[in-house]
A and B are shown apart, each in its own frame.
Chain A
Amino acid sequence: MSAPLLRLDDVTKTYREGDAERAVLRGLSLTIEPGAFVVLMGRSGAGKSTLLNLVSGIDLPTSGRITVDGTELTELSETERTLFRRENIGFVFQSFNLISTLTVAENVLLPLELSGTATGQARERAQAVLAHVGLGDRGDSFPDRLSGGEQQRVAVARALAHDPLFVLADEPTGNLDYETGQQVLTLLGDLVRDTDTTLLVATHDRSVLDRADRTLTLHDGTLHDRLPDFLSPDDRRAAEGAAADA
């Protein structure tokens, strides 16, 4: 068995609200293997986005350790975490969050440009990824000219263009209609499978469950390696089938 890509050891995150402290995550421990497609479910406010922020190094836990590919994020400075994220993490957000001031191609190249590694080969890869998401001919367009589905496909291309270790997707279908959402999920799933990239998707979308290797549920600040209680029997059967195949 290979070394885990992600390891959480007794991770707790609390927020201060006035005089009171509210614990969003309590003593989470978790390992995720490389190349896994993991779905993170939970009710709104359960702490899914907080967990993604911790895993990406955007935020730091109140206590506990987070290790990604052998690098302990909690030991790094803010700048070191940013550089780590730039190299190793790809993000897909619910509301796409493309940079309105950059063209589609520039958005995809952004992480490489920021790290100064936008070589010819990297550009070719970015173009190839863009073509792969079906937008090879829209590289010079600005984001506000694209539909929601197209924008999310660009976001997927941006998340994968620099060949990251890990893609974190936060409600990637939340702002899309069902059909478009499915297309985006298929695309994302295919791409991470093809490139052996690890994917962690935080979502409410039950349709993603049949694609996942593993489903985690956040409930009351703790993490459970099981399906959430609110699933229908059909969804539950589909998810269990997918996990067994994996």
Chain B
Amino acid sequence: MLYRSSLRYLTRHPWLMGLSVLGVALGVAVVVSIDLANSSAGRAFELSAETVTGTATHQVTGAAGALPDSVYRTLRMEAGVRPSAPVVEGYASVEGDERTFQVVGIDPFADAPFRPYLGTGPGGDVDLGTFMTQDAALLSAPTADEVGVTAGDTLRVDVEGTQHSVVVGGRIEPQDERTRRALANLLVVDVSTAQALFDRQGQLSRVDLILPSDDAEQTTALERIRAVLPEGTRLQRAEARTQAVEQMTRAFDLNLTALSLLALVVGAFLIYNTMTFSIVQRRGLIGRLRALGVTRRQIFGLVLGEAALLGAVGTGLGVLLGIVLASGLVHLLAQTINDLYFVVEVSALTITPWIVVKGGLLGLGTTIAAAIPPAREATNAPVSTVLRRSTQEASVQAMAPRLALAGALLGALSGTVLALTSQGIIVSYVALLGLLVAAALLTPWAVMGLARAARPLLGRLFGVIGRMAARGVVTSLSRTGVAIAALMVAVAATIGVGLMIDSFRGTVEDWLTQSLQADVYVQPPSEVFRRSTATLDSTVAARLRAVDGVASAYSVRRAAVEADVGPTDLVAIEPGPETEDVYRLKSGPPETAWPQLQNGSAVFVSEPYAYRHDLAVGDTVRLQTDRGAQALPIAAVYYDYGSDLGVVMMSRTAYTQFYDDRGVSGLAFYAEEERDVDALIADMRAAVGGLQDVLIRSNRALRETSLKVFDRTFTITTVLRLLALVVAFIGVLSALMALVLEREREMGVLRATGMTPPQVGGYVTLQTGLMGAIAGVLSLPLGYVLAYVLVFVINKRSFGWTLQLNVPPDVLLQALGLAVGAALLAGLYPAWKMAQSSPATALRDE
């Protein structure tokens, strides 16, 4: 019977119930969607890695991503390692399709044990004659249908700006859904075709091996292989590479997850608000139930049962909504990963039961946790039939200073944790959450102060309605306090994240201005914007250098190499007279560091690299080179915002000395004085017409492109910010609806006393506006603190960057406008409802 009564209460307040369910649903949806998007991107990468790796247990790789194909011959002939298979891989785009394809070059005779699904083995479907003698490619049957090609058709393929034609040599029929997804973006060619496509004659990406699973036999095999491998090559377990790549996005994923949890925290405020309201409204009823013999435990169970019901419905909806949201977010996420880290094509969401269960438990757990304080309050309801609301509010007001003190202590503790611990992103986020909760605890006390301060001003401006509005915020503190806290946290998060992005952008803009001093930049198109290792065609490079009006040209080479600390991006530069102005050193004496870099006796590392691997000037970094492992001293640490993975920089002289690679990834040109840069670019384009389709850009255009990519990588963050704000908006709406419900009588009296409907509307609007203004004012310092922590603690610990905190006044004004706007918008319906309410109905209980 108790539960029936409880259910009736909920169904009689559909608005409140609906809003709290929506709040939980949105909070859960955001968390689930980010989790799904992250894991889908991760799974897509794993699938494609597993597909390409096949059954290989080990791999032999070269120092700078390339391996002479003689190594393969040596392994087979001298060491007798079989099964072994050569692989050349890279990325390409296909005309008429937006996907980025992974191109895998294989030897069909050696490959069958590794990738049997390709059908290249005996009895397979592939016509090996065509496959090996022509430039032929295999692709999965569904993909071929999507692209609209059949066997024998010609496929136009673009590799780093150079166009090639390959013949469709056959279709691979996937045996199951997993293989279908794994093969969706795969283009399989013969090794020699791949070498031609990627301009890597005589080179392989790696050699795949299947070694015995028995430990002793494997050890013997490994020893035999190591004995024949030339210097600079590396033998490692097959999964090691995949894991290393996945490690790249760890901090990025963690930050996104933390941001998604913010929406859930705001959602928790909403649940707390709803449950508190439902208890306060029913205190009399609960008192009567207690008088009739219902125990405290039963009351506690009743309230938690209600919360569990709301939580279960909200969570269920949230998971469904999360899946819908994830299908949009996953593309944004994949775009960001493609811009920053590695190529990944996500064709479908990977919905695992664990993600759904995790989201469900999180939503339900948060709901129940948020309902515990109101449930405890309910059990403390006096056994009585009458209880005055004013007594309850008076106790909340009396408690406000104590809450504020608790908030101040929690804030101090969180601040201390942030200041004293030097590592650990999770600890930092927990401390950040502590700061948010501390601010929420301080809110009721601050609301009382601010509302009291606003009362005379509002009284002067709006008369009695203004004074009522101000005091109403204080007399309903148990309601307004939580709503204001929820809005404040959401707006503060918006300010914090907004200032962080602005500061980051400002720093990157300054850095780009300093870094991009040449007049024209040329590079081949690359699949990963920030880590371009594409090679500029040597003819193109030579023709560009010879264009009339070029004063000087400097090359840059990016390569992915192995270091003792793991995969490392290496940058080789040709230092010129301007170079010292281009790079700003964070540590290391410039007068000795630059000569050391130039003569190849030392390297520089970027700030994120030094932070990631705990390196400093004077330390050494051990790089795998074609001449074996080289220990190179670090002469300087320099500021670089191009990659959060960090880079090692060496001179081109040193690079040539240590690596066989002679390619360049990009060229920077200084124009002769008086030479018009736009005209120079036009001449350069004309000079390389018909060759590799390279990007020739002025420094201004490159800066704009870089900033565009920067903005794109923060799109997902902005989406999450907005979602947190939507949840907060619902919180304010729900709190105002609660106020409307319980003030019906008071409104009836006011209407009976002569307040017109527009005056009632004005009164509610003024009060909601004041609530928004208070939330806005309180969110400013909290937002600044959040920005400070994000810029100087979280960002530093996640990526190692030094950023300049930039606080433009318009961001703060926007936040204030946002808070007031959100509150006013949320107040529209309650104001209308109150204005429309019939005083006769409200006073009927008289």
Interfacial residues, chain A to chain B (CB-CB below 8 A): 49-50, 53, 56, 58-59, 78-79, 82-83, 85-87, 89, 91, 93-95, 97, 99-102, 106, 109-111, 113-116, 142-144, 158, 170-171
A99 partner residues in chain B, CB cutoff 8 A: 468, 746, 749-750
A102 partner residues in chain B, CB cutoff 8 A: 464, 467-468, 471
Q: In the bound complex, what is the Cα–Cα distance between A111 and B752 (angstroms)? A: 10
Q: Mark B287-298, 1 if CB is under 8 A from A, else 0.
A: 000000000000
B749 partner residues in chain A, CB cutoff 8 A: 91, 93, 97, 99
A59 partner residues in chain B, CB cutoff 8 A: 838, 840
Q: List 22 A-B contacts (CB under 8 A).
A: A49-B844, A50-B840, A59-B838, A79-B757, A82-B756, A85-B754, A86-B753, A86-B755, A91-B749, A91-B752, A93-B843, A94-B846, A97-B746, A99-B746, A99-B750, A102-B468, A106-B464, A110-B750, A116-B463, A142-B471, A143-B390, A144-B388
Q: In the bound complex, what is the Cα–Cα distance between A85 and B748 (angstroms)? A: 13
Q: In the bound complex, what is the Cα–Cα distance between A49 and B756 (angstroms)? A: 21
Tell me whether B754 and A114 are in contact (CB under 8 A): yes
B513 to chain A, nearest CB (A): 56
Tell me whether B464 and A49 are in contact (CB under 8 A): no
Which residue on A lies nearest to B758, using beta carbons?
A: A79
A116 partner residues in chain B, CB cutoff 8 A: 463
**Does B394 count as interface, using CB distance less than 8 angstroms?**
yes
Quick one: given A97-B745, A101-B475, A102-B467, are A111 and B846 in contact (CB under 8 Å)? no
Tell me whether B755 and A101 are in contact (CB under 8 A): no
Tell me whether B846 and A101 are in contact (CB under 8 A): no
* Chain A CB within 10 Å, residue with most, of B745, B749, B759, B839: B749
B479 to chain A, nearest CB (A): 13
Which residue on B lies nearest to A60, using beta carbons?
A: B840
B797 partner residues in chain A, CB cutoff 8 A: none
Tell me whether A171 and B390 are in contact (CB under 8 A): no
B464 partner residues in chain A, CB cutoff 8 A: 102, 106, 109-110, 113-114
A89 partner residues in chain B, CB cutoff 8 A: 754
B463 partner residues in chain A, CB cutoff 8 A: 113, 116
Tell me whether A110 and B843 are in contact (CB under 8 A): no
Which residue on A lies nearest to B391, using beta carbons?
A: A144
A68 to chain B, nearest CB (A): 14
Q: Which of B726-762 contact A (CB under 8 A)?
A: 745-746, 749-757, 759
A56 partner residues in chain B, CB cutoff 8 A: 752
Q: In the bound complex, what is the Cα–Cα distance between A233 and B572 (angstroms)? A: 114
**Does B415 count as interface, using CB distance less than 8 angstroms?**
no
B475 partner residues in chain A, CB cutoff 8 A: 100-101
B846 partner residues in chain A, CB cutoff 8 A: 49, 93-95, 170-171
Which residue on B lies nearest to A59, using beta carbons?
A: B840
How many pairs of A and B residues are in contact by the CB < 8 Å rule?
Answer: 87
A109 partner residues in chain B, CB cutoff 8 A: 464
Q: In the bound complex, what is the Cα–Cα distance between A114 and B757 (angstroms)? A: 12
Tell me whether B753 and A144 are in contact (CB under 8 A): no
Which residue on B lies nearest to A50, using beta carbons?
A: B840
Q: In the bound complex, what is the Cα–Cα distance between A89 and B102 (angstroms)? A: 84
A130 to chain B, nearest CB (A): 16
- Known contacts A49-B844, A82-B755, A144-B390; can you find 5 more A-B pairs with CB under 8 A? A58-B840, A87-B754, A100-B390, A101-B472, A110-B750
* Chain B CB within 10 Å, residue with most, of A78, A101, A113, A114: A101
Interfacial residues, chain B to chain A (CB-CB below 8 A): 388, 390, 394, 463-464, 467-469, 471-472, 475, 745-746, 749-757, 759, 838-840, 843-844, 846
Q: In the bound complex, what is the Cα–Cα distance between A199 and B659 (angstroms)? A: 106
Q: In the bound complex, what is the Cα–Cα distance between A82 and B751 (angstroms)? A: 7
Which residue on A lies nearest to B389, using beta carbons?
A: A100
Q: In the bound complex, what is the Cα–Cα distance between A87 and B843 (angstroms)? A: 20
Q: In the bound complex, what is the Cα–Cα distance between A144 and B759 (angstroms)? A: 24
B757 partner residues in chain A, CB cutoff 8 A: 78-79, 82
B225 to chain A, nearest CB (A): 84
Which residue on A lies nearest to B845, using beta carbons?
A: A95
Tell me whether B754 and A86 are in contact (CB under 8 A): yes
From DSSP, what is the main secondary structure of chain B's interface residues? helix
User: Closest 4 A-B residue pairs measured CB to CB?
Assistant: A86-B754, A144-B390, A113-B464, A101-B471
A17 to chain B, nearest CB (A): 13
Q: In the bound complex, what is the Cα–Cα distance between A50 and B844 (angstroms)? A: 8
Quick one: given A93-B846, A114-B753, are A101 and B840 in contact (CB under 8 Å)? no
Which residue on A lies nearest to B767, using beta carbons?
A: A101
Tell me whether B759 and A114 are in contact (CB under 8 A): yes
B755 partner residues in chain A, CB cutoff 8 A: 82, 86, 114
B751 partner residues in chain A, CB cutoff 8 A: 58, 82
B743 to chain A, nearest CB (A): 10
Which residue on B lies nearest to A86, using beta carbons?
A: B754
B746 partner residues in chain A, CB cutoff 8 A: 97, 99-100
A87 partner residues in chain B, CB cutoff 8 A: 754
Tell me whether A49 and B843 are in contact (CB under 8 A): yes
* Chain B CB within 10 Å, residue with most, of A50, A79, A91, A94: A91
A51 to chain B, nearest CB (A): 12
Q: In the bound complex, what is the Cα–Cα distance between A113 and B463 (angstroms)? A: 7
Tell me whether A79 and B756 are in contact (CB under 8 A): yes
A100 partner residues in chain B, CB cutoff 8 A: 390, 475, 746
Tell me whether B752 and A58 are in contact (CB under 8 A): yes
B756 partner residues in chain A, CB cutoff 8 A: 79, 82-83, 114
A79 partner residues in chain B, CB cutoff 8 A: 756-757
Tell me whether A101 and B468 are in contact (CB under 8 A): yes
Which residue on A lies nearest to B756, using beta carbons?
A: A82
B753 partner residues in chain A, CB cutoff 8 A: 85-86, 91, 110-111, 114, 158
Tell me whether B467 and A106 are in contact (CB under 8 A): yes
Cβ-defined partner of B754 (8 Å) among A50, A93, A111: A111
B468 partner residues in chain A, CB cutoff 8 A: 99, 101-102
Q: In the bound complex, what is the Cα–Cα distance between A115 and B753 (angstroms)? A: 10
Which residue on A lies nearest to B469, using beta carbons?
A: A101
Tell me whether A85 and B472 are in contact (CB under 8 A): no
B531 to chain A, nearest CB (A): 61
Which residue on A lies nearest to B839, using beta carbons?
A: A58
Q: In the bound complex, what is the Cα–Cα distance between A58 and B756 (angstroms)? A: 11
Q: In the bound complex, what is the Cα–Cα distance between A142 and B755 (angstroms)? A: 20
Q: In the bound complex, what is the Cα–Cα distance between A77 and B754 (angstroms)? A: 14
Q: In the bound complex, what is the Cα–Cα distance between A109 and B468 (angstroms)? A: 13
A78 partner residues in chain B, CB cutoff 8 A: 757
Q: In the bound complex, what is the Cα–Cα distance between A104 and B474 (angstroms)? A: 17
A192 to chain B, nearest CB (A): 18
A236 to chain B, nearest CB (A): 27
* Chain A CB within 10 Å, residue with most, of B753, B755, B759, B844: B753
Which residue on A lies nearest to B842, using beta carbons?
A: A58
Q: In the bound complex, what is the Cα–Cα distance between A168 and B698 (angstroms)? A: 84
Q: In the bound complex, what is the Cα–Cα distance between A111 and B754 (angstroms)? A: 6
Q: In the bound complex, what is the Cα–Cα distance between A115 and B463 (angstroms)? A: 11
* Chain B CB within 10 Å, residue with most, of A50, A53, A106, A111: A53
Which residue on A lies nearest to B390, using beta carbons?
A: A144
Which residue on B lies nearest to A85, using beta carbons?
A: B754
Cβ-defined partner of B752 (8 Å) among A85, A115, A171: A85
B394 partner residues in chain A, CB cutoff 8 A: 144
A141 to chain B, nearest CB (A): 13
B520 to chain A, nearest CB (A): 69
Q: In the bound complex, what is the Cα–Cα distance between A91 and B842 (angstroms)? A: 15
A93 partner residues in chain B, CB cutoff 8 A: 749, 843, 846
A93 to chain B, nearest CB (A): 6
Cβ-defined partner of A82 (8 Å) among B390, B467, B471, B754: B754
Which residue on A lies nearest to B841, using beta carbons?
A: A59
A218 to chain B, nearest CB (A): 15
A53 partner residues in chain B, CB cutoff 8 A: 839-840, 843
Q: In the bound complex, what is the Cα–Cα distance between A99 and B746 (angstroms)? A: 7
Tell me whether B839 and A83 are in contact (CB under 8 A): no
Quick one: given A106-B464, A171-B846, are A83 and B754 in contact (CB under 8 Å)? yes
B662 to chain A, nearest CB (A): 81
Q: In the bound complex, what is the Cα–Cα distance between A171 and B467 (angstroms)? A: 30
B754 partner residues in chain A, CB cutoff 8 A: 82-83, 85-87, 89, 111, 114-115
